[in-house]
């Protein structure tokens, strides 16, 4: 059995049979002879490859294999990798390496210091010291990604794959590694006691709640407590129904306004989120006097780096389950979900983003998954949409643009049972635009709504905030994404009115389509 054969068997044993990649000569010896049961998804740029893999991994909840070309391909993937780090996506990034004798002399395609290249983004990186250790190293890369919930990186010299595997290489095939983190009885008693003693508890829910499939359980806990519930700032997944009467919105991403929002609550229970991923620097006290914060996360690094509050490192799902067991039922009838206000209006030639989002709300099925990458329209988005299911919202977790178009392809591949809509800004689109080609090649029925405001709207807002409104480079006029999309094989239309937009959205897509609409610039 060759090293390559053991490697494919290891992947299969871990449920990995889809590989996202963009090849170079270093990767061909790995890719040749790929078993028929495997699927290779080609992206035309490594940023799109990782974006697709990230969306697919988030949609399936499984580790995903990525194969990139040496240093240059790995380098192109770094922006997309920053998102996967903060969505805690278990990607296994593999890259082809020159043959060992050619690395030191830095021959062409040598990935010099390969294990340093992807750090600090990846949680683990390795380049096996001999072909015989490639199978075990690949198994470790997969398990490390799962345990750390962070991408890993494995660099493999291209002549290793055709080497006869060591006699005991197959032993790694039968390994299983599980993680079980549940609070002990005394910790449970203390947590339940704290929550029961709170007079005005509040919940702050992070993206991990949706990633871990805890959307409904978190909703049940909030209703049991009757607690005001926020989504954590810098949100990349929606953990709670955004029109639920207890939902207070996404917490502001500034220190002072966040403390203000939580003022008056004596206990803030943070579930599945770092404390906190602030964004705009608005200094102030972390919490108001009298407010205590308790963070529950299985991300030990996030717990360690938080600047305030207490933390318990354990599975949020375990704590939610224990609280639901211990807390008495809440007899109060939940009030009705909130109704969106009439959308703000645009001009004769450009719609307001709220009108676009209201049209999506009114025309798309309730189980639609939205992949959103428009950075100045978040406020408009949450004012108009009505999302009541887990897996409804995906946003680039580190704000690294280029996620939206590719990740929508990945989500559609991972959840073919749910419609997928990409809501993409005309600035963001350019960073992951090649994902349209893969969408066309695979025929995934993704609807892309391209918001064309001719600017980097969020940067114009930031420029005002930072007193830098004279900064250049924030307008992007003259882009026509209908022609760009057609060039990648995706059918496209420019919707010239709200009626036309609604009519087109009401049609069910049979393949990928792009709907471009002119919008006015708004503030986040």
Ligand X SMILES: Cc1ncc(Cn2c(C)c(CCOP(=O)(O)OP(=O)(O)O)sc2=O)c(N)n1
Instruction: Kindly state whether residue 377 participates in binding ligand X, applying the rule CB under 6 A.
Output: yes
> Toward ligand X, which CB reaches closer, 251 or 459?
459
Please select the residue that binds ligand X; options are 431, 437, 481, 488, rule is CB under 6 A.
431
In the complex, what is the shortest distance from the CB of residue 87 to ligand X, in angstroms, rounded to a whole number? 15
* SS3 of 435-463: HHHHHHHHCCCEEEEEEECCECHHHHHHH
Instruction: Kindly state whether residue 401 participates in binding ligand X, applying the rule CB under 6 A.
Output: yes
Instruction: Kindly state whether residue 456 participates in binding ligand X, applying the rule CB under 6 A.
Output: yes
DSSP run (H or E) holding 304: helix 300-305
Instruction: Kindly state whether residue 356 participates in binding ligand X, applying the rule CB under 6 A.
Output: no
Residue 128, C-beta contacts closer than 8 angstroms, at least 6 positions apart: 134, 136, 137, 154, 156, 160
Q: What would the two tokens of residue 431 be?
A: 């960073």
Instruction: Kindly state whether residue 455 participates in binding ligand X, applying the rule CB under 6 A.
Output: yes
Please select the residue that binds ligand X; options are 402, 410, 422, 432, rule is CB under 6 A.
402
Is residue 516 within 8 A of residue 481, CB to CB? The reply is yes
- CA-wise closest residue to 436 among 491, 476, 383: 491
Instruction: Kindly state whether residue 457 participates in binding ligand X, applying the rule CB under 6 A.
Output: yes
- Provide the 10 A C-beta neighbour count for residue 178: 7
> Toward ligand X, which CB reaches closer, 24 or 379?
379
Region for 443 from its dihedrals, namely left if φ exceeds 0, alpha if ψ lies in -120 to 50, beta otherwise: left
Angle at which helices 498-506 and 353-363 cross, to 10°: 30
In the complex, what is the shortest distance from the CB of residue 396 to ligand X, in angstroms, rounded to a whole number? 8
Instruction: Kindly state whether residue 76 participates in binding ligand X, applying the rule CB under 6 A.
Output: no
Instruction: Kindly state whether residue 395 participates in binding ligand X, applying the rule CB under 6 A.
Output: no
> Toward ligand X, which CB reaches closer, 56 or 456?
456
How far is it, in rounded angstroms, from Cα 358 to Cα 473?
31
Instruction: Kindly state whether residue 8 participates in binding ligand X, applying the rule CB under 6 A.
Output: no
Residue count, binding to ligand X (CB under 6 A): 20
How far is it, in rounded angstroms, from Cα 222 to Cα 228?
7
Instruction: Kindly state whether residue 375 participates in binding ligand X, applying the rule CB under 6 A.
Output: yes
In the complex, what is the shortest distance from the CB of residue 476 to ligand X, in angstroms, rounded to a whole number? 7
> Toward ligand X, which CB reaches closer, 19 or 446?
446
Instruction: Kindly state whether residue 439 participates in binding ligand X, applying the rule CB under 6 A.
Output: no
Q: Which of 9, 14, 21, 27 is catalytic?
A: 27
Please select the residue that binds ligand X; options are 376, 384, 438, 447, rule is CB under 6 A.
376
Write down the number of H helices and E strands in the chain. 21, 18
How far is it, in rounded angstroms, from Cα 455 to Cα 185?
55
Instruction: Kindly state whether residue 453 participates in binding ligand X, applying the rule CB under 6 A.
Output: yes
What string of DSSP letters covers 30-59? HHTT--TT-EEEE-SSHHHHHHHHHHHHHH
Instruction: Kindly state whether residue 432 participates in binding ligand X, applying the rule CB under 6 A.
Output: no
> Toward ligand X, which CB reaches closer, 345 or 507?
345
Residue numbers at the binding site for ligand X (CB under 6 A): 79, 374-377, 399-402, 425-428, 431, 453, 455-459
* Residues taking part in catalysis: 24-25, 27, 46, 69, 279, 399
């Amino acid at each position: 059995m060759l090293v390559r054969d053991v490697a494919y068997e290891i992947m299969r044993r871990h449920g990995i049979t889809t590989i996202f990649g963009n090849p170079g000569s270093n990767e061909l010896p790995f890719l040749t002879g790929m078993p028929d049961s495997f699927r290779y998804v080609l992206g035309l740029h490594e940023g799109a490859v990782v974006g697709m893999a990230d969306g697919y991994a988030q949609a399936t909840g499984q580790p995903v294999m990525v194969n990139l070309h040496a240093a240059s391909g790995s380098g192109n993937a770094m922006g997309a990798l920053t998102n996967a780090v903060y969505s805690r996506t278990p990607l296994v990034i593999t890259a082809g390496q020159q043959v060992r004798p050619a690395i030191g002399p830095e021959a062409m395609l040598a990935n010099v210091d390969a294990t340093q290249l992807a750090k600090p983004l990846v949680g683990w990186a390795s380049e096996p010291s001999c072909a015989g250790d490639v199978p075990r190293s690949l198994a470790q890369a997969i398990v490390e990604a799962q345990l750390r919930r962070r991408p890993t990186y494995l660099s493999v010299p291209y002549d290793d794959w055709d080497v006869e595997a060591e006699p005991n290489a197959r032993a790694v095939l039968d390994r299983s590694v599980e993680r079980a983190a549940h609070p002990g009885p005394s910790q449970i008693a203390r947590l339940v006691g704290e929550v029961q003693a709170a007079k005005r508890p509040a919940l702050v829910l992070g993206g991990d709640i949706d990633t871990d499939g805890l959307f409904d359980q978190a909703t049940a806990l909030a209703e049991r407590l009757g607690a005001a519930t926020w989504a954590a700032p810098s949100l990349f997944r929606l953990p709670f129904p955004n029109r639920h009467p207890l939902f207070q919105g996404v917490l502001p991403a500034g220190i002072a306004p966040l403390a203000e929002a939580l003022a008056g609550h004596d206990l803030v229970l943070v579930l599945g989120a770092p404390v906190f991923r602030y964004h705009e620097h608005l200094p102030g006290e972390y919490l108001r006097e009298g407010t205590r914060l308790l963070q529950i996360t299985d991300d030990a690094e996030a717990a360690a780096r938080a600047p305030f509050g207490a933390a318990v490192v354990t599975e949020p799902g375990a704590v939610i389950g224990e609280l639901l067991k211990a807390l008495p039922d809440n007899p109060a009838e939940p009030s009705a979900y909130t109704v969106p206000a009439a959308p703000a209006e645009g001009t004769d030639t450009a719609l307001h983003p709220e009108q676009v989002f209201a049209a999506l709300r009114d025309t798309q099925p309730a189980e639609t998954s939205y992949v959103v990458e428009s950075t100045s329209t978040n406020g408009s988005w949450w004012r108009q949409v009505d999302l009541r299911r887990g897996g409804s919202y995906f946003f680039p977790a580190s704000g690294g643009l280029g996620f939206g178009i590719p990740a929508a392809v990945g989500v559609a591949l991972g959840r073919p049972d749910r419609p997928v809509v990409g809501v993409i800004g005309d600035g963001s689109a350019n960073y992951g635009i090649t994902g349209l080609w893969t969408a066309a090649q695979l025929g995934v029925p993704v609807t892309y709504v391209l918001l064309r405001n001719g600017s980097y709207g969020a940067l114009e807002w930031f420029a005002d905030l930072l007193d830098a409104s004279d900064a250049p480079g924030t307008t992007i006029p003259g882009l026509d994404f209908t022609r760009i999309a057609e060039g990648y094989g995706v059918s496209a239309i420019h919707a010239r009115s709200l009626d036309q937009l609604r009519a087109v959205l009401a049609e069910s897509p049979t393949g990928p389509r792009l709907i471009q609409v002119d919008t006015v610039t708004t503030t986040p």
